[in-house]
Amino acid sequence: MIKKKFKFPLMRNNISRNDLNKLISYLKKPNPYLTQGKKVREFEKSWSKWLGVKYSVFVNSGSSANLLSLSLLKLKFPHGGEVLVPPLTWISDIASVLQTGFKPIFCDINLHNLGMNEDEIQKKITKKTRAIFLSHIQGFNALTDKILKIIKKKKILLIEDVCESHGASFKKKKLGTFGWTSNFSFYYAHHLTTIEGGMICTNSKESYQTLLKLR
């Protein structure tokens, strides 16, 4: 029996020579902005239009987007509370919950979409629940009609982690448009990259202005 070895690399170099030349050309300008320049604002507006939200705030990573979302939640609930989270997610999601003084409550996943199980969510909601921090894993949509009904009925905030699922949709709407806030990553191995970088999105003008201050 012949054994074949297969190798599937996580990521190949997706920064082209043309990309690098443009960066070099920009850096050669007399006084190039290295942060928060014109291109950042253009990207934020373009991203908002593509996604279908009113406001987007570009940050240095998806992890920072997570932390900003939870920091915003902390301002709304200064005495803390509980945040429902999945066990299949990233360390930055759980870390941001802990860093802002909330208690993470784990809800097991639905094996069909790798998102939180609806029945687990229903079972673990208490008077202390402040938000559901939902992760859309590997391009899958983790939302369901039942989850949205629970959120509406219980008046609980939804935070979407869409770091791995740019462009995925539910009911003909892109993921990241259902939540109070939504977080994206532009890390090197993701669908769209700025090498590092992230975005936090919202339809609330008040939240947007606060996020700008927090950034």
| Secondary structure in 3-state letters for 45-109 | HHHHHHHCCCEEEEECEHHHHHHHHHHHHHHHCCCCCEEEECCCCCHHHHHHHHHCCCEEEECCE
| Active-site option among 79, 112, 136, 190 | 190
Q: Decide if 5 contacts 11 (C-beta within 8 A).
A: no
Active-site residue flag, 190: yes
Token pair recorded at residue 206: 């008040």
Q: Decide if 158 contacts 19 (C-beta within 8 A).
A: no
Rounded to an integer, what distance in angstroms lies between the CA atom of residue 26 and that of residue 6? 41
Among candidate residues 151, 66, 8, the one with its CA nearest the CA of residue 143: 151
Residues taking part in catalysis = 190
